[in-house]
């Protein structure tokens, strides 16, 4: 059978006919009518989604009914919107809060019925998507009883979209938001974006780049924002904006942005009042301040809490929150960048307002392929900390490499801070349970653009999906999430799913091997971070590769033990003690915490140099294995997406070799040791790799031509 070509636009919401004839017959018996009263905007979209999904999956229309008339009814609603839900007195509803749901087989009016119930209209919508997911993944409905509630309250996407339509670190085209045509033209794609977000339980979106433009806070743009919010609201998405700290000067005419200046505070209060007059359910601000040249309270001798609290005060009467990014480091401070956030923010623990949160990256440097968890987690018990991860693959090959990031997200969430003994995981810090915080959240820098398939690489949408599922329930396994996504996006064919799950699970580790094994980090090309650049030097030190790898004739790696920067002291025992000892430090973080001799013998019995070389080669070999695996699946999915992935795997294999050859040739120059057996020699000399220049790499706000090379 020749499968119809698909372009990926439907994402995981492909409501295609169930292809298992026996199961389809069972579903048709179990689902005969829908009882779905209520007329709120959210209930209307939930009812429409359920009807659309069932029509596609079952191959016929399922009629709406005002009451249960036969076996096979689906009753949806809240105790307020549905008399049948109220009559059932579902005890489980007491446990799912405002956004959770219950899906359960019940007897209603003497008929076998499936109930989708929640305490809020938004919870009903989430329940509808969860029920459709069961059908899409061909699960049995017998004995159905699901009680589900989100573990994190604020489940947010951060768009690094600029008002000119570009996206910083965006690798899937231009921005979804057409600011020029808003508010008068509403692209239908906005609704499909909202559907996708709601289907995985996301409830907040930040529309603009953290490197903020104050123009977004002017009245004409606020009306554009309100038009977008009108589309997103029925799907449970609350809109946030990034606030440029110097906005009072840039659009307000003030001579200062000092957070302790009364006129500045009054300006922000008036601005916030104006925002809420136009957008009554505005969520609040996300702020990047005093980092990478962005303005902030330090410009006036103030601390971060001063800035965050001023904005929190303005937002508080309206129920808004201020999210202050903890990605703070100063070029004029010589301290190890891995320590700067702790040095600046830990002394301020307990000084932030109740409606202010700190948004902390998963690691202390900058979204590297592997980092230890950020030491702020567990170090600020009086302050709610949000986890920030990056879905867009800034440091992971952009949108040309197949990299499934659920294992990376889980690595951070499952990490143990030991701050209150074993089991004090980052997840428990983030969800507020460890320190008793009512407010909690996760944020992710999205990979969404206007490419037809949304995310560029056909597999990149898996990371958007996985992030949403983990914000709802971080105990889900990477395997389970991959299984769901594959079945919903491609096929329920068991051979296909079983084969590709393992490829997805292994993919992140493969990339680490061919980019930065053994704890190497930040050795990317300057600026665009696309490709290797271990030789990068001559700019501010903590933007260079040589600052981080510290390679010399004796060895390689950044000493963060007591004999170096002592960043290891920011972690709690026993993890601290494990990291501090070169013999017990996890080898996947060895060069993150230690400067290690090239001849140091690792657990494998090989020297550091030989192990590094072989890991680079393993990464290349594993991409080749991915290619071979994918080629066995021709005909299992449509030809268009099959060929798209196949061709991108060719690119990935080429670039894996580029990483291997450039890095090993560079590091080999320090000591002259030969490549061990099994490692392919580089195709070119070091000068060749150092002179590769890429122009117009997507996602870069500035296009620079300060170095002209012959290779691209």
User: Given this model, what pLDDT does residue 702 score?
Assistant: 56
pLDDT tens digit sequence for 343-394 = 999 999 999 999 999 999 999 999 999 999 999 999 999 999 999 999 999 9
* 394 labelled catalytic: yes
Residues 193 and 267 in one domain: yes
- Give CA–CA dist 455/203, Å, rounded: 20
Q: How many CB atoms are located within 10 Å of the residue 106 CB?
A: 19
Q: How many residues in total does the chain contain?
A: 712
175-189, 267-281, 587-601, 694-708: which has the minimum mean pLDDT? 694-708
Q: Tell me whether residue 175 is in a domain.
A: yes
pLDDT tens digit sequence for 90-99 = 999 999 999 9
> Does residue 355 contact residue 285 with C-beta atoms inside 8 Å?
no
Full DSSP string of 205-242: EE-S-SS--GGGGSHHHHHHHHHHHHHHGGGTPEEEEE
Whether a cis peptide bond, with omega within 30° of 0, leads into 630 is no
User: Given this model, what pLDDT does residue 332 score?
Assistant: 79
User: Given this model, what pLDDT does residue 707 score?
Assistant: 43
Q: Tell me whether residue 588 is in a domain.
A: no
- Show the tokens assigned to 366: 């900058």
Residues 137 and 169 in one domain: no
Q: Among 49, 258, 313, 394, which one carries the catalytic annotation?
A: 394
Owning domain of residue 380: 154-475
pLDDT tens digit sequence for 505-536 = 999 999 999 999 999 999 999 999 999 999 99
User: Given this model, what pLDDT does residue 532 score?
Assistant: 98
Mean pLDDT to the nearest integer, 599-618: 98
Residues 217 and 71 in one domain: no
Residues 93 and 175 in one domain: no
User: Given this model, what pLDDT does residue 334 score?
Assistant: 86
Report the number of distinct structural domains present in the chain: 3
pLDDT tens digit sequence for 386-432 = 999 999 999 999 999 999 999 999 999 999 999 999 999 999 999 99
Specify the DSSP element, H or E, that contains 106.
strand 101-108
Q: Has residue 551 got a pLDDT over 70?
A: yes
526: CATH: 3.90.1330.10
Q: Which of 148, 174, 203 is the last residue of a domain?
A: 148
Q: Among 168, 261, 292, 587, which one carries the catalytic annotation?
A: 292
Mean pLDDT to the nearest integer, 30-47: 97
Average pLDDT, the chain: 96
Q: Tell me whether residue 52 is in a domain.
A: yes
User: Given this model, what pLDDT does residue 710 score?
Assistant: 36
Mean pLDDT to the nearest integer, 193-218: 98
User: Given this model, what pLDDT does residue 607 score?
Assistant: 98
Specify the DSSP element, H or E, that contains 356.
strand 356-361
User: Given this model, what pLDDT does residue 704 score?
Assistant: 41
| Of 14, 8, 4, residue with least CA distance to 452 | 8
Q: Which of 103, 126, 148 is the last residue of a domain?
A: 148
Q: Has residue 706 got a pLDDT over 70?
A: no
User: Given this model, what pLDDT does residue 80 score?
Assistant: 97
84: CATH: 3.30.379.10
Q: Tell me whether residue 317 is in a domain.
A: yes
Q: Has residue 268 got a pLDDT over 90?
A: yes
Residues 524 and 642 in one domain: yes
- Give CA–CA dist 330/334, Å, rounded: 8
Q: Which of 148, 166, 181 is the last residue of a domain?
A: 148
Mean pLDDT to the nearest integer, 140-144: 96
Confidence band of 250 (pLDDT split at 50, 70, 90): very high
Q: Tell me whether residue 229 is in a domain.
A: yes
Residues 169 and 111 in one domain: no
Q: Has residue 705 got a pLDDT over 60?
A: no
**Strands, E, within 473-584: which ranges?**
555-556
Q: Among 366, 411, 451, 638, which one carries the catalytic annotation?
A: 366
Residues 333 and 200 in one domain: yes
Residues 34 and 178 in one domain: no
Specify the DSSP element, H or E, that contains 325.
strand 321-325
Residues 221 and 268 in one domain: yes
Confidence band of 190 (pLDDT split at 50, 70, 90): very high
User: Given this model, what pLDDT does residue 330 score?
Assistant: 81
Confidence band of 479 (pLDDT split at 50, 70, 90): very high
Q: Tell me whether residue 265 is in a domain.
A: yes
Residues 226 and 143 in one domain: no
Q: What's the pTM?
A: 0.97
Mean pLDDT to the nearest integer, 169-192: 98
250: CATH: 3.20.20.80
* 292 labelled catalytic: yes
User: Given this model, what pLDDT does residue 453 score?
Assistant: 98
Q: Has residue 1 got a pLDDT over 70?
A: no
Residues 68 and 176 in one domain: no
Mean pLDDT to the nearest integer, 467-488: 98
- Give CA–CA dist 510/626, Å, rounded: 10
pLDDT tens digit sequence for 272-288 = 999 999 999 999 999 99
Q: Tell me whether residue 345 is in a domain.
A: yes
Q: Are strands 154-158 and 145-148 parallel, antiparallel or unpaired?
A: unpaired
1: Cβ contacts below 8 Å, ≥ 6 apart: none
Angle at 196 between CA 192 and CA 201, to 5 degrees: 140
Residues 267 and 413 in one domain: yes
- Give CA–CA dist 551/303, Å, rounded: 36
């Amino acid at each position: 059978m020749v499968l119809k070509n698909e372009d990926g636009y439907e994402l995981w919401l492909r409501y295609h006919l169930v292809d298992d004839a026996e199961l389809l017959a069972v579903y048709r018996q179990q689902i005969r009518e829908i009882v779905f009263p209520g007329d709120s905007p959210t209930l209307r979209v939930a009812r429409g989604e359920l009807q659309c999904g069932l029509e596609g999956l079952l191959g016929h229309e399922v009629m709406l009914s005002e009451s249960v008339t036969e076996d096979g009814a689906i009753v949806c609603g809240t105790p307020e919107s549905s008399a049948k839900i109220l009559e059932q007195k579902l005890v489980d509803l007491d446990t799912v809060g405002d956004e959770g749901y219950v899906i359960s087989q019940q007897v209603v009016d003497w008929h076998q019925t499936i109930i989708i119930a929640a305490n809020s209209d938004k919870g009903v919508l989430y329940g509808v998507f969860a029920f459709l997911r069961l059908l899409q993944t061909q699960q049995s409905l017998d004995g159905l009883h699901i009680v589900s509630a989100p573990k994190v309250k604020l489940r947010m996407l951060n768009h690094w979209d600029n008002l000119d339509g570009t996206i910083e670190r965006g690798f899937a085209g231009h921005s979804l938001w057409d600011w020029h045509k808003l508010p008068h033209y509403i692209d239908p794609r906005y609704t499909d974006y909202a559907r996708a977000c709601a289907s995985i339980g996301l409830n907040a979106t930040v529309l603009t780049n953290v490197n903020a433009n104050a123009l977004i806070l002017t009245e004409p743009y606020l009306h554009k924002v309100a038009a977008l919010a009108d589309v997103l609201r029925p799907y449970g998405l609350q809109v946030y904006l990034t606030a440029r700290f110097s906005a009072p000067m840039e659009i307000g005419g003030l001579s200062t942005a000092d957070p302790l200046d009364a006129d500045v505070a009054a300006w922000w209060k008036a601005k916030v009042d104006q925002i809420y007059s136009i957008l009554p359910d505005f969520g609040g601000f996300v702020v990047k301040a005093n980092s990478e040249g962005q303005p902030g309270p330090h410009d006036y001798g103030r601390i971060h809490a001063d800035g965050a609290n001023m904005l929190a005060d303005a937002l508080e009467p309206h129920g808004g929150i201020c999210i202050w990014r903890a990605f703070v480091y100063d070029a004029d401070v010589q301290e190890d960048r891995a320590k700067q956030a702790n040095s600046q923010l830990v002394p301020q623990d307990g000084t932030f307002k109740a409606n202010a949160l700190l948004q902390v990256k998963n690691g202390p440097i900058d979204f590297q392929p592997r980092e230890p968890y950020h030491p702020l987690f567990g170090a600020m018990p009086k302050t709610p900390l949000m986890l920030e991860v990056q879905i867009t693959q800034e440091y992971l090959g952009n949108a040309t490499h197949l990299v499934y990031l659920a294992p990376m997200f889980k690595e951070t969430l499952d990490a143990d801070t030991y701050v209150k003994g074993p089991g004090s995981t980052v997840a428990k810090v983030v969800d507020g349970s460890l320190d008793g915080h009512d407010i909690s959240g996760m944020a992710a820098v999205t990979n969404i653009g206007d490419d037809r398939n949304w995310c560029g690489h056909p597999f990149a949408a898996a990371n958007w999906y996985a992030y949403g599922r983990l914000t709802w329930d971080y105990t889900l396994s990477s395997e389970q999430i991959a299984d769901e996504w594959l079945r919903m996006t491609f096929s329920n064919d068991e051979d296909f799913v079983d084969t590709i799950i393992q490829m997805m699970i292994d993919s992140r580790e493969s990339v680490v091997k061919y980019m930065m094994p053994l704890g190497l980090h930040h050795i990317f090309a300057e600026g665009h971070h696309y490709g290797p650049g271990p030789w990068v030097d001559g700019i501010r030190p903590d933007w260079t590769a040589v600052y981080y790898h510290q390679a010399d004739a004796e060895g390689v790696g950044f000493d963060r033990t007591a004999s170096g920067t002592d960043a290891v002291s920011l972690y709690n025992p026993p993890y601290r003690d494990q990291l501090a000892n070169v013999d017990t430090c996890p080898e996947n973080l060895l060069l993150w915490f230690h400067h290690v001799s090239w001849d140091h013998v690792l657990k494998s019995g090989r020297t550091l140099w030989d192990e590094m070389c072989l890991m680079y080669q393993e990464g290349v070999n594993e991409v080749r294995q991915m290619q071979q695996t994918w080629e066995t699946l021709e005909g299992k999915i449509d030809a268009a997406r099959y060929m798209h992935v196949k061709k991108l795997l060719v690119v990935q294999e080429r670039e894996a070799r580029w990483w291997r050859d450039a890095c090993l040739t560079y590091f080999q120059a320090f000591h002259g040791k030969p490549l061990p057996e099994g490692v392919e020699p580089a195709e070119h000399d070091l000068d060749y790799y150092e002179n590769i220049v890429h122009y117009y790499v997507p996602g870069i706000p500035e296009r620079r031509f300060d170095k002209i090379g012959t290779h691209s």
